[in-house]
Amino acid sequence: MALFSKKEKEKQAEHFEVLPNHLGIIMDGNGRWAKKRGLPRTAGHKVGAEVFRSICQECANLGIKYVTFYAFSTENWKRPQSEVDAIMDLFKDYLLEAKRDFVKAGDNKIIFIGEREGIRQDLVDLMDEAERDTADHNATTVYLAINYGGRQEIAAAVNKLIAQGKTKITEEDISANLYTVPECDMIIRPSGEERLSNFLLWQAAYSEFWYSDVLWPDFTVKDLYEALHEFEKRNRRFGA
Ligand code: FPP
């Protein structure tokens, strides 16, 4: 399946008066989707990975500048090893596919956020390669959060500042030492859960939230449009 197929890109995208500059998406509900069908949880992740591809593509069609997908949290290592391995294999499939496609039509930039340490080396190599190969691409920047935790990100930023000899730390110092993810304007969480789960804690300070009962493997571009139309209506005051 082409990652950034030209044909897809030429499709007329829905029109929006205003779009989030940075959209965050928590891909949730894969396990329940599979369970409802009497399938192993990994089957839900497999379909979830396909949905990730199509939503990624649609964000590019719409011209959203930044989108962050929460793919694997620092807490997800507690899952059974077989499930962790299956998710890592899906990342690998995606990265291998991406590698083939970058040459052709790729103009999305891919950046991984989270701790590299703890991730198997074959994946880390492909992640580094994907970042290098897409570094000068200028369509949507796709941040993939893998082995990511918002608290871990903030703690790491503070430790970097301490190592630089800082004794008084400002908000700007912390912002400047996080992964280079911009302020998040909207967070989408499907599957009926209404919590942040350690996602973009710092960047989500003024995020608009959109929840839905749809499970991630059933999430479609129509759901994305629904969330974005809701965003158009929100009155954002940033505390003023
Ligand atoms: C949350 O659903 C999902 C995950 C922890 C894994 C998400 C991974 C994918 C969608 C595959 C990603 C692949 C690529 C290529 C980015 P859950 O398992 O917690 O579902 P549940 O709450 O119903 O149990």
* CB < 8 Å & 24+ apart, contacts of 127-130: 127/95, 129/95, 129/99, 130/95, 130/98, 130/99, 130/102
> Ligand 1 center to residue 64 CA distance, Å?
23
Say if residue 137's pLDDT is above 60.
yes
> What does DSSP say about strands 208-211 and 66-73: parallel, antiparallel, or unpaired?
unpaired
pTM for this predicted structure:
0.93
* Cα→Cα distances 142→61, 78, 108, 130, 220, Å: 13, 26, 7, 11, 18
What are the residues facing 73 on neighbouring strands? 148
Instruction: Look at ligand 1, atom 10, and give the residue with the nearest C-alpha.
Output: 48
Give yes or no: 235 in active site: no
How does DSSP classify residue 17?
A: S
In angstroms, what is the span from residue 163 Cα to ligand 1's centroid?
35
pLDDT of residue 76 exceeding 70: yes
Q: Is the pLDDT of residue 223 over 90?
A: yes
In the reported structure, the alpha carbon of residue 71 is separated from the centroid of ligand 1 by a whole-number distance in angstroms of 6
Distances (CA, A) of 53 to 26, 97, 123: 14, 11, 18
Q: What is the C-alpha to C-alpha distance for residues 197 and 11, in angstroms, rounded to an integer?
A: 34
Residue 156: which of 137, 183, 174 has the closest Cα?
174
Please list, in sequence order, all residues whose beta carbon lies within 8 angstroms of the beta carbon of residue 130, skipping any fewer than 6 positions away: 95, 98, 99, 102, 110, 112
- Does 4 have pLDDT greater than 70? no
What is the predicted pLDDT for the residue at 70? Answer: 97
Please tell me the predicted confidence (pLDDT) of residue 12: 57
| The pair of three-digit structure tokens given for residue 64, joined into one six-digit string | 């959203």
Phi, psi torsion values for 71, nearest 5 degrees? -105, -35
Please state whether 84 falls in left (phi above 0), alpha (psi between -120 and 50) or beta: alpha
Contacts of 95 (CB under 8 A, 6+ apart): 123, 126, 127, 129, 130
Is residue 239 pLDDT above 50, yes or no? yes
Question: What are the pLDDT digits (tens) for 15-41?
Answer: 999 999 999 999 999 999 999 999 999
Asked whether the beta carbons of 200 and 181 are under 8 A apart, the reply is yes
- For ligand 1, which residues put their CB under 6 angstroms from it? 27-32, 45, 48-49, 52, 71-72, 76, 87, 90-91, 94, 144, 191
Rounded to whole angstroms, the Cα distance separating 37 from 41 reads 10
User: Catalytic residue at 108?
Assistant: no
Q: How confident is the model at residue 103 (pLDDT cuts 50, 70, 90)?
A: low
Helix (H, G, I), strand (E, B) or coil at 166: coil
User: Is 230 in contact with 222 (CB distance < 8 Å)?
Assistant: no
Measure CA of the first residue to CA of the last residue in the chain; give whole Å: 46
